[in-house]
Chain A
Amino acid sequence: MTDTLKPDLAETGAVEETAPPQRHPEPGGTATFRVWRGDRAGGRFVDYTTPVSPGMVVLDAIHQIQADQAGDLAVRWNCKAGKCGSCSAEVNGQPKLMCMTRLNELPLEKPVTIEPMRAFPPIKDLVTDVSWNFRVKQRIAPFTPRPPDAPDGTWRIDQADVDRVQEFRKCIECFLCQDVCHVLRDHQLYDRFIGPRFLVYAAALEMHPLDVGDRIEALRREHGIGFCNITKCCTKVCPEHITITDNAIIPLKERVVDQFYDPLGRLVKLFSRREQS
C-alpha cells in the first residue's frame, strides 16, 4: 500500500464530460485503486491493488478490496444496476455511480482515484452525509391533485402528459447533480438553494398533469431558483440523462418570471382580479 496526500478540493471539481466515455481494452491482470479513507476529521488516499477482469465496474473493485484487504472500507450500495442511486462517488474526479462505471472506461495504467462526493460532509471513506437532501424535500409543497375526473374517483390522463414528466420522475436521487452544483459545492448556499435535484422534483410536481399546487413563489423566495445560472454541470453528470437545466430548471425560471416580473402579465392579472370582484 502506498499513501498519497489528499489533493486540494478544488482539483476534484466537476470536470466537463462532453463525449461519450472512451472505451479501453477490457481489463485483465491487476489494477490499482486510490481510495479516499477517512472521516469527518480528515483522511488520505490509500492505494489498493486488486485483480480485474472483463466487464467489471468500479463497485466490483471496491467490493473485492473490501472482502480481501479492507473489511471496514465504507461504501453505500444497494441494487448494483443503476436504479437505486446509492453508490455515488467521484471516480478520477468525475461524479459517477460506481455500479455503472465500467473499468474499460478508465485508463488502468495509472491508479483509479475514488473519493466521496465532495459537496456533502464526509461520514467515513466513500460515505457522505446526504441528510440535508431529505430535509430539503420535506420543505417542498407536496403533490395536490385536482378533483377526480370520473364518478368512480379516477382521472383521465393523456399519455403525452405522462411522457412529459416521466423524464423528471426517472430521477434515482443519487445526488450527483447536487454534488457538482457550484452553488452548493463551492458557495455552500445550502440554506438558500435547494439544488438541481429538487428543482427537478419541483418541476415534476408543477408539470404533473393532476397537480394543482403552486410552488412558484416558494421557488423564488425560499428555494433560491435565481441562484442557478444555468451552467448545466448537473445535466452533464446525471446518470439518468435527465436534461435538468433545459427541461426542468429553465421552464421553472420562466414561470417565476411570468408570475413576478412580467409587467404586462401583472397588469392583466390585476384587471382580471378586479373584474371578478
Chain B
Amino acid sequence: MADLDTFDHDVLVIGAGGAGLRAAVAASSAGVKVGLICKSLLGKAHTVMAEGGIAASLANVDNRDGWQVHFADTMRGGQYVNNWRMAELHAKEAPDRVRELEAWGALFDRTPDGRILQRNFGGHKYPRLAHVGDRTGLEMIRTLQDHSIHQGIDVHMECTVLRLLTDGGRMAGALGYERERGRFKLYRAKAVILATGGVGRAFAITSNSWEYTGDGHALAYEAGAALQDMEFVQFHPTGMIWPPSVRGILVTEGVRGEGGVLLNKHGRRFMFDDIPENYRSQTADNEEEGWRYTQGDKDARRPPELLTRDHVARCIRREVAEGRGSPHGGVFLDISWIKQKLPHAREHIIRKLPSMYHQFKQLADIDITAEPMEVGPTTHYIMGGIRVDGDSQMSTVPGLFAAGECAAGLHGANRLGGNSLSDLLVFGKRAGEYAARFSREPGAPRVDPAEVDRAITAALEPFERAGGENPYQVQHELQAMMQDLVGIVRTGPEMERALEGLDGLRARANRVGVPGNREYNPGWHTALDLGNLLTVSEAITRAAIERRESRGGHFRDDCPDKDPSCARFNIVIRKGGDGAMQLAREPIPEMPAELKRVIEEQK
C-alpha cells in the first residue's frame, strides 16, 4: 500500500444524504476532524427525491398532536416490532430538528399565522408533515449542504467505499476509490458512521437511484456487524408505470394527502373495500368524510387512501391481479377530480404538487390537473438494516455507527411516509455526536496493510477477465429475479428458488470482466457494487423465509396472517465464522410501562 492516498479523520461519515450530512455537522460541531464521503457529487444523494415532507409533532395545524401521538403512530405503522427506544427518541426530538433546519435557512410552507405548515400523510393521525410543495427533500438536502460547507468538513466527492477496516474488532477506517481516476484511497478514522441509504437497486422496479446498492449494509456485515429486519422492504404504492422507461419513479403520497383518490378501471374507490381492523376507528367510511379530512376538518377521519403504505400497495396489487387494473397494469390515481370541490383547482394542484405536475407532463404527456395518473407499487425503502443501539446509533462493532435508511429499528415492519426525513435528522445528529465522543476515547487503531492490499487486489480482478460476464447483465438478472421471487408478495418455495438463483448469480459475479481502464468506468463500478447487492439480496431472502407470517412490508401468500408470537422478535443476521450467513431470532426488549401506557391511550 505504498503509493496509497491516505486521509486521517477522527470521524469518517460514509454517505452524504440527509443522515450523513447531519451526522457530519454534529460531529464537526463537537470539535473533531470529520471526513465526509459522497458516492456522487455533494447534494445529489437520494434525499433529494423525498417529496412529501418531514414528520414532526410541531402541532402547528392540529394542537392535539404531540410526541406521544407520533410515537404511537410510528409503532402502529411498524406493527410493533420497532426499536421502541428509537421510536420514542424520534418522536420527541423531531420537532427540534425541524426548527433547527429552519434556523439554517430551510423555508417551509406556512400556516396563516406564519408558522410551519403541516400536511396529512398516511398513518399519521394529525397533519404532521412540514413541507415545501412536493420538493421537501431538495429543501432539506440543500439546507444541510449549504450549512455543512462552512463547518470545516473534508468532503470527498464521487468516492465509493469498498471495505471497512478493523483493528482487533474496532473500527480503524475504510478503503475506497475515487471515480475520476480510479485511484484507491485509505481513510484512517477512529469512528465511522454509515449513512449509505438503501437497497432498491436489488429490485427491477424501484424509485431508487443507481447508488442504492446496499453498500452500508454489506460493509457493516463484512466488518462483523449485525443486520436486522431485512425482510421488511417497503414497496411504495404509487410509482409511475407508463411509459416503460419511467416505471418505478415515485409519485408522492402528498397527492393523496391533498385529496387524490385511487380508482380501479371501473372507477371504484377500492380502498374503501378493505380497511384493516386496527385502523378502522380512525378511517373515514365515506367519500365525503375523507374529503373533509384532507381539507383540514378536525372532526373528520382520514380517507382509506392514507392507510399505511404496505396496505395500500397490496390493495393495488389485488385490483390488478383480479383484473380491475388500468391499461398498463396499475390503478388510477386522480387528483383532478377536486375541481368538483375547489375553485381554481388547477392552480391549487400546480402550487401544491409542482414537481408531480412537471414530471407527468414531461415524461408521460399527462396533465394531472385534468386527467388521472396510472400508478403501481415500486420498491422504495428498506426498514431493515444495521442493528444499532437506540441512543447512540452504534452498531455491534465498536466505533461503527449507522444512521438513516441503512440503520434498522425505528420503522419496524413498515415505515410511515415522512418518518424518513425526520429519522435522518434525529439519528444523524445522534450518530454524529456519539461517534465524536467515541473518537475521543483513548487508543489509536491501526490499519492492517495486508488487509488493504487484499481488498485492492480483489477490486482490480474484473480488469483481468477480459471477455468475462457482463456486470450489467448480471445486475439486471438479479433485479428481475428479486422482483419476481422476493417482491411484494412472497412464498416459501419461491424464495428457496431465489436462494438457489443467488448462488448462481454469485458465481457469475465472480466471473465478471470489464473493458477499459480505471478512469470513471461505470462498468467497473457496477461490477464492484454486485457483491453488495448479492449480500443484501441474500439477507432479505433468508430473513423473509425465516419470518413465517405476514407483517408490514413483508407479505407471504403462504402465511397471509399476522402471528402474534412473531411480534416478539427481530430476525438478526451475522456473518458466521465459516463465512456463511447466520440468522437468529433476537427477542424484542420489554417496553417500559410509560410507553405502553402511551400506546394504550392512543388506541
Check A84–B49 contact: CB distance below 8 A. yes
Contacts of B46 in A (CB 8 A): 78-79
Indicate if B346 sits at the interface (CB-CB under 8 A): no
Cα distance A134–B142 in the bound complex, in angstroms? 13
Check A78–B245 contact: CB distance below 8 A. no
Which residues of A14-68 have CB atoms within 8 Å of chain B's CB atoms?
Answer: 39, 53-57, 60, 66-68
Question: Beyond A72-B522, A142-B147, A142-B150, is A85–B44 a contact (Cβ under 8 Å)?
Answer: yes
Cα distance A159–B113 in the bound complex, in angstroms? 9
Q: Please tell me which one of the listed residues A85, A143, A155 contacts residue B146 in the complex, with CB atoms under 8 A apart.
A: A143
Which residues of A73-116 have CB atoms within 8 Å of chain B's CB atoms?
Answer: 73-86, 100, 102
**B interface residues, tally (CB under 8 Å):** 69
CB of A105, distance to nearest CB on chain B (Å):
10
Question: Beyond A78-B209, A79-B48, A102-B363, is A145–B103 a contact (Cβ under 8 Å)?
Answer: yes
Cα distance A194–B102 in the bound complex, in angstroms? 26
Cα distance A143–B151 in the bound complex, in angstroms? 13
Q: Which residue of A lies closest to B476 (CB)?
A: A67
Determine the main DSSP class of A at the interface with B: loop
Contacts of A162 in B (CB 8 A): 107-110, 132
Indicate if A222 sits at the interface (CB-CB under 8 A): no
Most buried by A among B48, B107, B246: B107
Contacts of B364 in A (CB 8 A): 55
Check A208–B363 contact: CB distance below 8 A. no
Indicate if B99 sits at the interface (CB-CB under 8 A): yes
Which residues of B497-556 have CB atoms within 8 Å of chain A's CB atoms?
Answer: 514-517, 519-524, 526
Check A82–B362 contact: CB distance below 8 A. yes
Check A79–B522 contact: CB distance below 8 A. no
Contacts of B244 in A (CB 8 A): 53-55
Check B363–A138 contact: CB distance below 8 A. no
Contacts of A131 in B (CB 8 A): 157
Cα distance A82–B46 in the bound complex, in angstroms? 12
Cα distance A158–B108 in the bound complex, in angstroms? 11
Question: Beyond A72-B515, A78-B44, A143-B146, is A165–B107 a contact (Cβ under 8 Å)?
Answer: yes
Contacts of B516 in A (CB 8 A): 71-72
Question: Beyond A137-B146, A159-B109, A162-B108, is A55–B209 a contact (Cβ under 8 Å)?
Answer: no
Most buried by A among B116, B149, B522: B522
CB of A257, distance to nearest CB on chain B (Å):
26
Contacts of B483 in A (CB 8 A): none
Contacts of B521 in A (CB 8 A): 71-72, 74
Contacts of A83 in B (CB 8 A): 48-49, 135, 137-138, 355
Most buried by B among A131, A154, A156, A208: A154
CB of B586, distance to nearest CB on chain A (Å):
35
CB of A131, distance to nearest CB on chain B (Å):
8
Cα distance A56–B246 in the bound complex, in angstroms? 8
Indicate if A130 sits at the interface (CB-CB under 8 A): yes
Cα distance A102–B359 in the bound complex, in angstroms? 12
Check A81–B250 contact: CB distance below 8 A. yes
Question: Beyond A67-B470, A100-B362, A145-B105, is A86–B515 a contact (Cβ under 8 Å)?
Answer: no
Indicate if A220 sits at the interface (CB-CB under 8 A): no
Indicate if B43 sits at the interface (CB-CB under 8 A): yes
Comparing A121-129, A177-185, A243-251, A258-266, the segment that makes contact with chain B is: A121-129
Cα distance A156–B116 in the bound complex, in angstroms? 8
Check B40–A211 contact: CB distance below 8 A. no
Indicate if A7 sits at the interface (CB-CB under 8 A): no
Indicate if B332 sits at the interface (CB-CB under 8 A): no
Contacts of B157 in A (CB 8 A): 131, 134
Cα distance A170–B522 in the bound complex, in angstroms? 29
Check A86–B520 contact: CB distance below 8 A. no
Check A56–B243 contact: CB distance below 8 A. yes
Mark each residue of chain B from 353 to 373: 1 if its CB lies under 8 Å from any CB of chain A, else 0.
Answer: 001001100111000000000
Indicate if A4 sits at the interface (CB-CB under 8 A): no
Question: Beyond A56-B245, A74-B521, A134-B42, is A81–B105 a contact (Cβ under 8 Å)?
Answer: no
Check A72–B524 contact: CB distance below 8 A. yes
Q: Which residue of B lies closest to A160 (CB)?
A: B110
Q: Please tell me which one of the listed residues A77, A134, A157 contacts residue B110 in the complex, with CB atoms under 8 A apart.
A: A157
Cα distance A170–B137 in the bound complex, in angstroms? 11
Contacts of A76 in B (CB 8 A): 40-41
Q: Which residue of A lies closest to B211 (CB)?
A: A78
Indicate if A188 sits at the interface (CB-CB under 8 A): no
Cα distance A210–B99 in the bound complex, in angstroms? 13
Check A80–B249 contact: CB distance below 8 A. yes
Check A102–B149 contact: CB distance below 8 A. no
Question: Beyond A66-B522, A72-B522, is A81–B359 a contact (Cβ under 8 Å)?
Answer: yes
Contacts of A155 in B (CB 8 A): 102, 114
Q: Please tell me which one of the listed residues B146, B209, B242 contacts residue A80 in the complex, with CB atoms under 8 A apart.
A: B209
CB of B139, distance to nearest CB on chain A (Å):
6
Contacts of B104 in A (CB 8 A): 143
Contacts of A85 in B (CB 8 A): 44
Contacts of A151 in B (CB 8 A): none
Check A156–B472 contact: CB distance below 8 A. no
Cα distance A166–B139 in the bound complex, in angstroms? 10
CB of A10, distance to nearest CB on chain B (Å):
27
Indicate if A253 sits at the interface (CB-CB under 8 A): no
CB of A130, distance to nearest CB on chain B (Å):
7
Contacts of B115 in A (CB 8 A): 154, 156
Check B133–A81 contact: CB distance below 8 A. no
Question: Beyond A156-B115, A169-B139, is A82–B359 a contact (Cβ under 8 Å)?
Answer: yes
Check A55–B246 contact: CB distance below 8 A. yes
Indicate if B281 sits at the interface (CB-CB under 8 A): no
Q: Please tell me which one of the listed residues B44, B133, B522 contacts residue A166 in the complex, with CB atoms under 8 A apart.
A: B133
Q: Please tell me which one of the listed residues B44, B363, B472, B476 contacts residue A100 in the complex, with CB atoms under 8 A apart.
A: B363
Cα distance A137–B193 in the bound complex, in angstroms? 26
Contacts of B520 in A (CB 8 A): 74, 123-125, 127
Indicate if B180 sits at the interface (CB-CB under 8 A): yes
Cα distance A154–B522 in the bound complex, in angstroms? 46
Contacts of B110 in A (CB 8 A): 157-159, 162
Contacts of A209 in B (CB 8 A): 107
CB of B183, distance to nearest CB on chain A (Å):
13
Q: Please tell me which one of the listed residues A39, A125, A137, A156 contacts residue B113 in the complex, with CB atoms under 8 A apart.
A: A156
Indicate if B473 sits at the interface (CB-CB under 8 A): yes
Indicate if B210 sits at the interface (CB-CB under 8 A): yes
Question: Beyond A71-B470, A166-B107, is A55–B40 a contact (Cβ under 8 Å)?
Answer: no
CB of A266, distance to nearest CB on chain B (Å):
31
Cα distance A118–B343 in the bound complex, in angstroms? 47
Q: Which residue of A lies closest to B180 (CB)?
A: A123
Check B514–A72 contact: CB distance below 8 A. yes
Which residues of B63-93 have CB atoms within 8 Å of chain A's CB atoms?
Answer: none
Check A166–B132 contact: CB distance below 8 A. yes
Which residues of B327-382 have CB atoms within 8 Å of chain A's CB atoms?
Answer: 355, 358-359, 362-364
Check B514–A154 contact: CB distance below 8 A. no
Known: A66-B522, A71-B472. 9 other contacts (CB 8 A): A68-B472, A72-B514, A72-B522, A72-B523, A74-B521, A82-B358, A82-B362, A142-B147, A211-B105
**Which chain A residues have a beta carbon within 8 Å of chain B's beta carbons?**
39, 53-57, 60, 66-68, 71-86, 100, 102, 123-125, 127, 129-131, 134, 137-138, 142-143, 145, 148, 153-159, 162, 165-166, 169-170, 172-173, 205, 208-211
Could you give 13 example pairs across A and B, Cβ below 8 Å? A53-B243, A71-B472, A72-B524, A74-B522, A81-B49, A81-B250, A83-B48, A84-B44, A84-B209, A123-B519, A162-B107, A209-B107, A210-B105
The 3 closest A-B pairs by CB, nearest first: A55-B243, A71-B523, A72-B516
